[in-house]
């Protein structure tokens, strides 16, 4: 049976208030009407990957045309390695060729990579045009599409160029996950597990129970889990748009996660897989500092194992190299890393005075798990 429930959450930031809609079938039902209404006669520029045109972006364009919108479609190649300024420049060129003006609505149809690139291009084209995020990966639905962080990677590290550019709306349709490669689904589950650890022990407990069903893409389990993650992210972003405080907890697992991705040149690990490894690093560091109970580490590892996610540190990357990459992370302050550590399942704290020797010891431990 198709679940027709639509969950809507509001993100309220000082500059913009917008809805996050989550529901099965929204790509064909709500998306065309809402986007056409937001555009009110202006042009709509859909951006997607070539592999998502036939199934998602072209039908959306057709439906937008039926709603009276003048729709153009651009494609950019997929993959984290394309998250560069060169890809942003390609979008600028495409949009300029079509003479898009400041009233244009840009629509990002894809995963977190596409949403981040397109959001950044929208933030900067003509000093800023509106964007609607239509996330089609689990990771982008629960995390990347909400909150306005946009940007691209540099060789020196992830997301080093970017801006805050809140979307006009987020429309997440879990039915799009039917075509998502299995490994991408698992990668997204890492962020779902993260929400449980940082914010909601009940969510964590329910995820543990429903992981096998979620891996089978059981909509009855996926939809409420996605919706709860969106609700948490909407609440956190509304409290702290630019990460001066509570928003930092969303980076749980990302300090080492980003370092793993950078050290392996975005070739080996999916974002969620790297975050899974980073969450275990954070647990071990928290344990060493007496902040994280051992039971939290074992519960985290058990959930990651159940989801088929990695948790050991790969031997090919030295701990020193990881620390060096982490120090370049934009969240480091004066070279000091800010570690998000779990105090229990559902609560975290941020520590910025962790000795490198402790980190190195824990990373070594993580190789031997």
Ligand X SMILES: NC(=O)c1ccc[n+]([C@@H]2O[C@H](COP(=O)([O-])OP(=O)(O)OC[C@H]3O[C@@H](n4cnc5c(N)ncnc54)[C@H](O)[C@@H]3O)[C@@H](O)[C@H]2O)c1
Residue nearest to ligand X (CB): 112
Question: Which contiguous run of DSSP H or E holds residue 157?
Answer: strand 157-164
Within 8 A by CB and 6+ apart from 294, the residues are 287
Q: How many CA atoms lie within 13 A of 250 on its CB side?
A: 24
Query: How does DSSP classify residue 80?
Result: G
**Which has the closest alpha carbon to 72: 88, 60, 56, 55?**
60
Q: Cβ 28 to ligand X, closest distance in Å? A: 14
* String of contacts with ligand X for each residue 50-89, x by CB under 6 A: -xx-------------------------xxx--x------
Catalytic residue flag (residue 271):
yes
Task: Give the active site residue among 98, 201, 208, 243.
Answer: 243
Q: Cβ 104 to ligand X, closest distance in Å? A: 21
Q: How far apart are CA 91 and CA 93, in angstroms?
A: 5
Q: Cβ 180 to ligand X, closest distance in Å? A: 4
Catalytic residue flag (residue 127):
yes
Identify the three-state secondary structure at position 210.
helix
Q: How far apart are CA 141 and CA 110, in angstroms?
A: 10
With respect to ligand X, which residue has the nearer C-beta, 179 or 242? 179
Task: Give the active site residue among 43, 228, 258, 331.
Answer: 258
With respect to ligand X, which residue has the nearer C-beta, 118 or 366? 118
Catalytic residue flag (residue 251):
yes
Catalytic residue flag (residue 165):
no
SS3 per residue for 91-144: HHHHHHHCCCCCCCEEEEEECHHHHHHHHHHHHHHHHCCEEEEEECCHHHHHHH
- Contact region for ligand X (CB under 6 A) — 16-24, 60-68, 106-114, 218-226? 106-114
Find the helix packing angle between 254-263 and 319-327, rounded to 10°. 110
Taking CB under 6 A as the criterion, which residues in 184-203 touch ligand X?
184, 187
**Which has the closest alpha carbon to 260: 326, 359, 331?**
326
Q: Cβ 116 to ligand X, closest distance in Å? A: 5
Q: Cβ 83 to ligand X, closest distance in Å? A: 6
| Residue 112 interacts with ligand X (CB under 6 A): yes or no | yes
Taking CB under 6 A as the criterion, which residues in 122-181 touch ligand X?
136-137, 139-140, 143-144, 147, 149, 158-159, 176, 179-180
Within 8 A by CB and 6+ apart from 230, the residues are 7, 9, 20, 22, 141, 142, 146, 170, 172
Site of interaction with ligand X (CB under 6 A): 49, 51-52, 78-80, 83, 110-114, 116, 136-137, 139-140, 143-144, 147, 149, 158-159, 176, 179-180, 184, 187, 271-272
Indicate which residues carry an active-site annotation. 127, 149, 191, 233, 243, 247, 251, 254, 258, 271
């Amino acid at each position: 049976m198709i679940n027709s429930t639509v969950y809507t959450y509001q993100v309220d930031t000082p500059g913009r208030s917008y809805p996050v809609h989550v529901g099965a079938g929204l790509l064909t039902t709500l998306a065309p009407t809402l986007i056409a209404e937001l555009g009110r006669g202006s042009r709509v520029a859909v951006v997607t990957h070539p592999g998502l045109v036939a199934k998602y972006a072209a039908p959306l364009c057709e439906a937008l045309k039926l709603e009276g919108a003048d729709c153009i479609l651009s494609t950019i190649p997929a993959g984290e390695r394309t998250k560069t300024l060169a890809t942003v420049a390609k979008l600028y060129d495409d949009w300029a060729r079509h003479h898009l003006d400041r009233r244009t609505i840009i629509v990002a149809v894809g995963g977190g990579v596409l949403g981040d690139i397109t959001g950044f291009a929208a933030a900067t084209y003509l000093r800023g045009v509106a964007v609607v995020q239509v996330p089609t990966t689990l990771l982008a639905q629960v995390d990347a599409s909400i909150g306005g962080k946009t940007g691209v990677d540099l060789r020196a590290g992830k997301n080093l160029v970017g801006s805050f550019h809140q979307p006009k709306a987020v429309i997440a349709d879990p039915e799009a996950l039917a075509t998502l490669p299995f490994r991408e689904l698992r990668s997204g589950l890492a962020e779902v597990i993260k929400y449980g650890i940082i914010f909601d022990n009940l969510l964590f407990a329910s995820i543990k129970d429903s992981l096998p069903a979620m891996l089978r893409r059981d909509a009855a389990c996926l939809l409420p889990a996605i919706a709860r993650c969106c609700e948490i992210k909407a609440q956190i972003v509304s409290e702290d748009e630019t990460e001066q405080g509570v928003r930092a907890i969303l980076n749980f697992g990302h300090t080492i996660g980003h370092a793993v991705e950078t050290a392996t040149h975005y070739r080996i690990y999916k974002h969620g897989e790297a975050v899974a490894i980073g969450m275990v690093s954070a647990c071990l560091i928290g344990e060493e500092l007496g902040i994280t109970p051992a039971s939290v580490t074992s519960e985290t590892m058990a959930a990651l194992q159940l989801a088929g996610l990695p948790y050991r540190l790969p031997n090919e990357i030295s701990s020193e190299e990881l620390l060096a990459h982490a120090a370049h992370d934009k969240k480091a302050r004066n070279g000091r890393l800010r570690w998000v550590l779990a105090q229990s399942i559902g609560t975290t704290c941020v520590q910025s005075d962790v000795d490198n020797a402790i980190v190195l010891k824990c990373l070594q431990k993580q190789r031997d798990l």
